[in-house]
Chains A and B, each alone.
Chain A
Amino acid sequence: MNWLRQKDGRDLIAGALLIAIGMFCALYAAHHYPLGSVSRMGPGMFPAVLGYVLAALGLLIALPAWFRRGSLPRPEFRPLFFVLLGTLVFALTVERIGVVPAIFLLTGLSVLADSKLGIIGTLLLAAALSAAAVLIFLFGLGIPIHPFVWPF
């Protein structure tokens, strides 16, 4: 990774990703869907052309970046990890154990992203958010969500 510091690493990564996504879309579309002709386009034509365009744009971003110095992005892994984990755990649990426990899990995991809130604060926040969610969505909007589901 050290050589990346001598170039504009941020734009090199950006360009490379676009080239990869673009080529994948173009080739996948061309192999799986009929292209048709220009006057009668098949379902594959539009995405295939766009895929090549995206790859070309990636090249346009990466090439000049090779010849100049820049910086590498510095991700903040802690908020990234806990926010996404919270969302995924919510997705996995909401149908099995119900909305209220899923909100408690989501709140508990997401406060770990910056850990400024203690355990009691977290529980109070989760309780308030669960109450608000049930009130707004179930009673206010009449959307049939299940506050609790007995999993066994």
Chain B
Amino acid sequence: MELLDYFIIGMESALSLSNLWYCFLGVLLGTLVGVLPGIGALATIALLLPVTFHLDPTNAIVMLAGVYYGSTYGGSTASILLNLPGTPSSAVACLDGYPMAQSGRAGVALFMTTIASFFGATVGIIILMLFSPAIAEVALKFGAPEYFSMMLLGLVAASTISSGAPVKGIAMVVLGVLIGVIGTDVNSGMARFSFGFPELTDGISLVAIAMGLFGIAEVIASVNRIRRGQVDRKSITLRSMIPSRDDWRRSWMPMTRGSAIGSFFGALPGTGGTIASFMSYAVEKRLARDPSRFGKGAVEGVTGPESSNNACDQTAFIPTLTLGIPGTVSMALMLGALMIHGITPGPQLMTEKPDLFWGLIMSFWIGNIMLLVLNIPLIGVWVRLLAVPYHLLYPAVLVLVCIGVFSINNSTFDVWIVAIFGAMGYAMRLLDFPPAPLLLGYVLGPLMEENVRRALLISRGDFMVFVERPISAVFIGITVALLVWAIVTSMRRPARSGQSALEQAKAR
């Protein structure tokens, strides 16, 4: 069987000593930044990008992926103990996890979220293994028009579905694509928007943008916001983590449904773990025999969403690896890491670099097992970490950002860029502009320009080429429908982002 061959190729690569080590490093760092509110997987991946220049590409991507899914495991810890989400996608875990902790069941909540995360991730990996080859096969037939339409759909979906204000999301995509234009045009060799700075002819570095938007801006916004609560360390013992038979019985079906929901939303470009976990919570509440238990410490309100966002993390690799289209910003950064090593993700990746492709997927199994060990017996370590106050943490983040960016090219110019994007990111927060679509636009912009120019060159300037080819026509059709919906909703209600809606809901 073909799948078995892939399995063996992947395991050989994933079980090599160096991959095991970088996988461990990745999930360890991921759990760490997931646990700590105020530093996310995104900023960490951006920080690690310069480090990965010096690594073998498989090692690099295995480590970055570990940070990505590891942070989702850790994210729920702060939600449960402090009512403060460590990562956006674990915000839902506050709703029932914190009440559980208050009624003395913090240990059970932490144990069950880890089990739910592992369960969700397992389902996600299986779906990733089963569907990737088929999708890559279809994608091999894609030409320039299909690629352009698909990227357009991905960007429009990312900006309209995931944030509450579709028009603002789309505007950020366009701005991101424009920022991606900066630098030398590959077709004519002309330097665009360089304004006389020789450094700008190479374009703006992805790392500098990501660190500015997600590192510096996050610090500025968090300094006065994050308060450390008191954590009762002694209450979390291994004995207190043992769930009752009732907990298992209640969680089984929500975990299965959550994994299905998460797998679906992960594979869709543009929707991430935050949406997947909210969906799962809504579904469980609707299906529950007694919905009034929700919000008061219902275990299924924690396990369902938690398996959902972990399944989502794994299936998010489907569009990224098979089509070369990142669905989330973290995925865009990982694509960036591969491209730095001269590897273009896309349908040919699976056949040209099977050891990287299947090695990465197999490393997910290993990483998730490591996370199980890191999160259950070692939970006490992470709980203790929550006691580190933010006023010690944020200068450390700033130092890491500055040194990290400076060390890439030994260039202070990049540090200036970080500061500029930090200020811009903070302004965007104030005006309710989501930063994620901007970064997606920046990464996909140059690819889109290349494909639209190629498509129109072949069709001699006829725009019908995008709707005459059936696959491309379907993509364009969905895109247009999304855009119409976005414009209609924006005329009706104020353009508030989903993030601030959530904050308002919590403040009440």
Chain B residues 430-458 with CB under 8 Å of chain A are 430-433, 449, 452-453, 456-457
State how many residues of chain A have any CB contact under 8 Å with chain B: 74
Could you give, for residues 388-431 of chain B, a 1 whenever the CB lies within 8 Å of some chain A CB and a 0 otherwise? 01011011101111110011001010011011001100100011
Contacts of B219 in A (CB 8 A): 79, 83
Q: Cβ of A50 and Cβ of B178 under 8 Å apart?
A: yes
Q: Which residue of A lies closest to B460 (CB)?
A: A39
Interface residues of A in 73-100 (CB under 8 A from B): 73-76, 78-80, 83-84, 86-88, 90-92, 94-95, 99
Given contacts A14-B168, A91-B412, contact A117 B391 (CB under 8 A): yes
B213 CB–A CB distance under 8 Å:
no
A13 to chain B minimum Cβ distance, whole angstroms, is 6
Q: Does A23 contact B (CB under 8 A)?
A: no
Count B-side interface residues using an 8 Å CB cutoff: 64
Q: A11-B494, A75-B430, A143-B407 are in contact. Are A41 and B394 (CB under 8 A)?
A: no
Within 8 A of A (CB), among B180-222: 181, 185, 187-188, 190, 192-193, 216, 219-221
Q: What's the minimum C-beta distance from B269 to chain A, rounded to whole angstroms?
A: 20
Contact A80 B403 (CB under 8 A): no
With a cutoff of 8 Å between Cβ atoms, the chain B residues found around residue A37 in the complex are: 461
Interface centre among B54, B175, B395, by most chain A C-beta atoms within 10 angstroms, is B395
Contact partners of B178 in chain A: CB under 8 A: 21, 25, 47, 50-51, 54
Bound CA–CA A87/B181 (angstroms): 26
Complex Cα–Cα for A137 and B167 (A): 42
Say whether A145 contacts B174, CB under 8 Å.
no
A residues in contact with B494, CB < 8 Å: 8, 11, 64-65, 68, 70
Complex CA gap A64/B491 in Å reads: 6
- Taking a contact as CB atoms under 8 Å apart, the answer to whether A60 and B396 are in contact is no
Instruction: Indicate which residue in B174, B187, B395, B433 contacts A50 across the interface (CB closer than 8 Å).
Output: B174
B479 CB, min distance to chain A CBs, angstroms: 14
- The answer to whether A61 and B490 touch (CB under 8 A), given A41-B453, A110-B395, A111-B395, is yes
Bound: A74/B500 CA distance, A: 14
Choice from B171, B423, B452 contacting A80 with Cβ under 8 Å: B423
Chain A residues contacting B453 (CB-CB under 8 Å) are 41, 46
Q: Are A116 and B391 in contact (CB under 8 A)?
A: yes
Interface: B170 (CB within 8 A): yes
The docked-state distance in angstroms from the alpha carbon of A139 to that of B219 is 28
CB neighbors of B among A1-49 (8 A):
8, 10-11, 13-14, 17-18, 21-22, 25, 28-29, 33-34, 37-44, 46-47
Q: By the criterion CB–CB under 8 Å, are A73 and B430 in contact?
A: yes
Tell me the complex Cα distance, A36–B460, Å.
13
Q: Is B177 an interface residue (CB 8 A)?
A: yes
Contacts of A18 in B (CB 8 A): 171, 175
Closest to A81 in B: B220
Q: Is the CB of B402 within 8 A of A145?
A: no
Does the CB pair A145–B412 fall under 8 Å?
A: no
Establish whether residues B171 and A61, one from each chain, have CB atoms under 8 Å apart when the complex forms: yes
Closest to B433 in A: A14
- Our pick among A74, A87, A141, A143 for the contact of B402 (Cβ within 8 Å) is A87
- Known A-B contacts A54-B174, A141-B54; the reply to A133 vs B403 at CB < 8 A is yes
Within 8 Å by CB of A94, from B220, B391, B401, B412, lies B412
The answer for the CA separation of A118 and B29 in the assembled complex, in Å, is 29
Q: Which of B193, B391, B401 is A47 in contact with, Cβ under 8 Å?
A: B193
Q: Are A94 and B406 touching (Cβ within 8 A)?
A: yes
With contacts A29-B192, A80-B423, A106-B402 taken as known, whether A117 is within 8 angstroms of B392 at the C-beta atoms is yes
With A33-B190, A61-B168, A103-B399 given, name 13 new contacts (CB 8 A): A14-B431, A25-B193, A46-B181, A47-B178, A54-B178, A60-B490, A64-B490, A80-B220, A91-B402, A111-B395, A114-B224, A133-B400, A144-B410
15 cross-chain CB contacts under 8 A: A10-B431, A21-B175, A34-B188, A39-B456, A47-B192, A54-B174, A58-B171, A83-B216, A83-B422, A84-B220, A94-B402, A107-B395, A125-B395, A133-B400, A145-B410
Interface, chain B (partner A; CB < 8 A): 51, 54, 167-168, 170-171, 174-175, 177-178, 181, 185, 187-188, 190, 192-193, 216, 219-221, 223-224, 389, 391-392, 394-396, 398-403, 406-407, 410, 412, 415-416, 418-419, 422-423, 426, 430-433, 449, 452-453, 456-457, 459-461, 463, 487, 490-491, 494-495
6 closest A-B pairs by CB: A39-B461, A73-B430, A91-B415, A38-B461, A79-B223, A43-B185
